[in-house]
Structure 1
């Protein structure tokens, strides 16, 4: 699970915000990744936390910034995944309604990638 979250280059496969991610294949704290997000805006993604039970990614494009936290809790042979994000910027205020339910969508797509 952590490996998928830390594989920035695979984000477009399960995170609906990302169209393209380029950079090094292994995540490193503060290592920048170039991103293109819907609807075609370019920016940067970095990892700010990489701990056994917590991953934090921060990405920014003009007018919009997201801090995304992922908590991983082992439950026997399964892992409980919790996801929360916050948005900042003028574009974030305009898109607030569009992001309703996105955490659930991301978790569902991530589950499909992992079980697929």
Structure 2
């Protein structure tokens, strides 16, 4: 079984995201209790709890999606790719394509 240090070195973003989601879930539980403590109506507290849980769920989904996209981009960067030449870096005999060219430097006429 790998140690927690080895796991954190391989996936540091996942650990930070997991910690963030845990704190958000803790807040989703704590905020309604504090609201009830200070006398907010149970219906208002339930609405607030539902709203916080919804926002936390959407944020979790977006964070996980972002991590997957970042991991995919890193995988693509590690894969060997053919050299891409830009628009102006053509080589070979067909490097001057298009347009009309008459022989030499004589004017077209």
Is the TM-score greater than 0.5?
no
Question: Given the two structures, how large is their TM-score scaled by the length of structure 2?
Answer: 0.28
Q: Which has the higher strand share?
A: 1
- Per chain length, whose mean CA-contact separation is higher, i.e. which structure has more relative contact order (CA < 8 Å, sep 6+)? 2
Question: Given the two structures, how large is their TM-score scaled by the length of structure 1?
Answer: 0.26
Q: Which has the higher helix share?
A: 2
Larger radius of gyration, structure 1 or 2?
A: 2
